[in-house]
Amino acid sequence: MDMQEKITALREELRRHNHNYYVLDKPTISDFEFDMKLKQLQQWEEAYPEYYDPTSPTLRVGGEVTKNFKTVPHETPMYSLDNSYSREEVLEWEKRVQKILGEVSVAYTCELKYDGASISITYENGILQRAVTRGDGVQGDDISANVKTIRSVPLRLQGDYPQKFEIRGEIILPLEGFAKMNEERIEQGEDPYMNPRNTASGSLKLQDSSLVAQRPLDCLMYAIAGSGLKMRTQFEMLEKAREWGFKVPPAAKLCNSLKEVMEFVDHWDVYRHELPYETDGVVIKVNDLRQQEELGYTAKSPRWALAYKFKAEQAATVLREITYQVGRTGAITPVANLEPVLLAGTTVKRASLHNADQIAKLDIRQGDTVFVEKGGEIIPKIVAVDLSKRRKDSEPLAYISHCPECGTPLQRQEGEALHFCPNELGCPPQITGRIQHFISRKAMDIEGLGSETVELLFKEGLIHDYTDLYTLTVAQLLPLERMAQKSAENLVNGVKASREVPFERVLFALGIRYVGETVAKKLARAYKNIDALMEAGEEALMAVDEIGERIAGSVVRFFSEEKNRERVARLKSYGLQFSLSETQLANQTDALKGQTFVVSGVFEKVSRTELKKLIEDNGGKVASSISSKTSYVVAGDRMGPSKKTKAEGLGIPIITETEFLSMLPS
């Protein structure tokens, strides 16, 4: 055996031992033996650098330093999950699933919900290419160098893996490793880390990957994304991931009824405390991947999955004071300032009180001892008051009547839960809030400009609304605190580059109430340019897919105000994109205008997602379920039988993929 063969053989042996130890938890040699073999491989690799292999086990020790993590798009979006907290909410979800599918038989895969940092890892030809954080679901940070140090993440796959795919998982810090890290910190006189989740997330953003390698991080996989995967169920997907070398927890179970699902939930609600890592619930997924495609997605979440959250941890503490925050829309949010209390591994000092009705419902008063819960929300909430500890001289809370920032009398519209400050042009938090929304990642994404800089620019009188950003100069910025030549140039160049941001994101950036990312895209596609949209009436707007009375009314009110029209005119003069690009327009027609389509089954010539886009690009509407308003059902392979029966019963034409494509302009 020559030296290259010896090195290759030792690498393969160490990969097997690594998999046995970190993935299967079944070591076949001692740690000492493994270390000796690894040391031997390092010596050989140093002596024969011509046999370098980027997937060698020796590279797990890290060493690469990343100054700035590059932001990259996900090939397939990473959606968040809708949460549920009761059996009733799960039943409601199941009803929605069955209504769309029109099928009686639905099986579910139940998996534990791991409490860590979400990750998407791309493999090509069995080799790890890139690891990206979840970010905003559309794009995240490339942390490949750090993820490669995690022993349970395979650098090279085994078995019959696809040529290219993304695998999703959660990077966690097992409880034992977390405890050991804290013991070492305390011995060194340092403060202990607060909880495993935040420590795992923070570890992934360390600039030196050799420091990440020293932390006992683990990675648990739960989903695969890509095309041509040749798998039919979620459960099969998990089994395949195991075969390829990934760590997939064995707790996952295939359930054939909601009764079995809730039995799984009840079991792990009790036994989760025996797990080696933190889990805060169960993820319930429709098992059949064809049915998942049928169900599709909302703007934020898959319709085919639901997170059942275990009862949140509670803690009792004293409510010191209630303060009020003003948002960019003028909405007033009351906030409880608390005696610091440890809850779910973090120190809680503030909690949301939502609105005046919530305060009145719980009869919350300053000085009360309250129960705080950290459920599915980022900010903890007060769920109850300990009346036995209330002072005798306590008085009911009088909700504020004037804006805490500008003193303007507050308004509360009929049917609204929140109070609002109507002083849109003179209330500082509303002004800076609108600008901060305008520059945010999903809107104009202006590089070199953050929330603190916006506050500073406003305070110094350099900007009064977001249109003023386009008049800033380097000379104006240099006198500002912490603003050097390079950062001033980056800010001005970032503003200049934002002129190329597409119309739908500019529309979202304007900050029209109720117009989020998805609605902005639909309005941009329907009206093509800002001038047509500004002249649209409520009825015309409501004819657009998923635009209801509330959104339509908000859009009309926004453009009826002269100051907003002036802002649009100014932004136009600075060169921002207020119409669809020629490329976008070239792909859009009104060929299917006024027609509603339901898409069912698996297709050969175009993907299901592409087919839906073709319908919308040509003026048609995509519906999730069949009704008397449906114009056509586009049927692919393995179409749901009950959908076929319903369509035939209503006399709705069922057309093939080829027939649909022939309806489009050539």
SS (H, E, C) 321-363: EEEEEECCCCEEEEEEEEEEEEECCEEEEEEECCCHHHHHHHC
Instruction: Tell me: pLDDT of 526 over 70.
Output: yes
Please state the separation of Cα 383 from the chain's center in Å: 26
Binning pLDDT at 50, 70 and 90, where does residue 432 land?
very high
Q: What is the mean pLDDT of the chain?
A: 88
Helix (H, G, I), strand (E, B) or coil at 136: coil
Q: Is the pLDDT of residue 425 over 70?
A: yes
- Taking every pair of C-alpha atoms in the chain, what is the biggest distance, in angstroms? 89
Give the per-residue pLDDT at 63: 61
Task: Give pLDDT, residue 605.
Answer: 84
119: closest CA among 69, 65, 167? Answer: 167
User: Is pLDDT of 662 > 80?
Assistant: yes
Task: Say whether pLDDT at 426 is over 70.
Answer: yes
- Distance between CA 289 and CA 545 in Å, rounded? 26
Identity of the amino acid at 153 = V
- Over residues 88-113, the mean pLDDT reads 89
Can you tell me the distance from the alpha carbon of 224 to that of 220, in angstroms, rounded to the nearest whole number? 12
Q: Closest by alpha carbon to 634, among 304, 618, 520?
A: 618
Q: What is the pLDDT of residue 296?
A: 83
Output the pLDDT for position 338.
94
pLDDT band at 566 (very low <50, low <70, confident <90, very high): very high
Q: Report residue 606's pLDDT band, with 50, 70 and 90 as the boundaries.
A: confident
**Mean pLDDT along residues 613-630:** 84
Q: Is the pTM of this model over 0.85?
A: no
Q: At what angle do helices 562-573 and 549-560 cross, to 10 degrees?
A: 70
Q: pLDDT at residue 429 above 80?
A: yes
What are residue 210's phi and psi, to 5 degrees? -70, -30
Selection from 542, 517, 533, 526 nearest residue 565 by Cα: 533
Read off the pLDDT band of 618 (50, 70, 90): confident
Q: Return the pLDDT at 62.
A: 60
Tokens of 119: 């990750």
Q: Return the DSSP state at 141.
A: E
Question: Do 55 and 127 form a contact (C-beta atoms < 8 A)?
Answer: yes
| Bigger pLDDT: 233 vs 417 | 233
Which tokens sit at 462? 């350099």
Paired residues of 338 in beta bridges: 319
DSSP string, 288-330: BHHHHHHH-B-SSSBTTEEEEEPPPPEEEEEEEEEEEEE-TTS
b/e sequence 393-422, b meaning 16+ C-beta within 10 Å: eeeebebeeebebeebebeeeeeeebbbbe
Assess whether pLDDT exceeds 90 at residue 629: no
- 306-322 burial, b at 16+ Cβ within 10 Å, e below that, comes to bbbbbebeebebebeeb
Q: Do 292 and 304 meet the contact criterion of CB atoms below 8 Å apart?
A: yes
Q: Is the pLDDT of residue 64 over 70?
A: no
Q: What is the per-residue pLDDT across 312-347, written as a single tens digit (0 to 9) for each?
A: 778 899 999 999 999 988 999 999 999 998 887 678
Mean predicted confidence (pLDDT) in 196-213? 88
Note the pLDDT of residue 492.
94
pLDDT for the residue numbered 32: 74
Q: What is the spatial distance between Cα 464 and Cα 444, in angstroms, rounded to a whole number?
A: 17
Instruction: Say if residue 147's pLDDT is above 80.
Output: yes
Residues noted as catalytic: 113
* Both tokens assigned to 180: 């050991």
359-385: pLDDT as tens digits: 999 999 999 999 998 755 557 888 899
Q: What is the mean pLDDT of residues 407-420?
A: 88
All structural domains of the chain, each given as residue ranges with its CATH number in brackets, are 3-61 (1.10.287.610), 83-309 (3.30.470.30), 428-500 (1.10.150.20), 503-586 (1.10.150.20), 596-662 (3.40.50.10190)
Can you tell me the distance from the alpha carbon of 205 to that of 608, in angstroms, rounded to the nearest whole number? 36
DSSP codes, 243-259: HHT----TT-EEESSHH
Token pair 């792909």: residue: 587
Task: Lay out the sheet containing 621-623: strands in order across.
Answer: 621-623, 596-600, 632-635, 654-656
User: Which of 235, 237, 270 shows the shortest CA–CA distance to 254?
Assistant: 235
- % of the chain beyond a pLDDT of 90: 47
Q: Could you tell me how far CA 625 lies from the centroid of its own chain?
A: 26
Q: What is the pLDDT of residue 375?
A: 59
Q: What's the number of CA atoms in the CB half-sphere (13 Å) around residue 169?
A: 25
Residue 463 pLDDT grade (very low, low, confident, very high; cuts 50, 70, 90): very high
CB 638 within 8 A of CB 290: yes
Q: Which residue intervals of 421-484 are DSSP H helices?
A: 428-439, 451-459, 474-477
Q: Please report, to the nearest 10 degrees, the dihedral formed by the alpha carbons of residues 485, 490, 492, 493 taken in order.
A: 130
pLDDT at 276 over 80: yes
